[in-house]
Amino acid sequence: MERKTAYRMLLFLVLILTAAYTLGLAGLLPFRVSYYITLFMVLLFVILRAGTRGR
């Protein structure tokens, strides 16, 4: 898969997760959902950051 396409799919995923995170903070979803979304986004950031340093 082309890098540009992969980043667009990741952007879509992050936007969906951001909406779910916001609903968790508002109390409409369990806070545990927001906790795991935060962990996933931090992990995603570290992986993407390490990928750009490897180039």
pLDDT of 49: 86
> Residue 13 in contact with residue 22, Cβ under 8 Å?
no
Q: What is the pLDDT of residues 8-52, one digit of tens each?
A: 998 999 999 999 999 998 999 998 898 999 999 999 889 888 877
User: CA–CA separation, 26 vs 33, rounded Å?
Assistant: 12
Phi, psi (degrees; rounded to nearest 5) at 29: -120, 155
> What amino acid is encoded at 6 in this protein?
A
Q: What is the pLDDT of residues 17-29, one digit of tens each?
A: 999 999 998 999 9
pTM for the model stands at 0.73
DSSP string, 10-37: HHHHHHHHHHHHHHHHHTSS-HHHHHHH
> Residue 10 in contact with residue 19, Cβ under 8 Å?
no
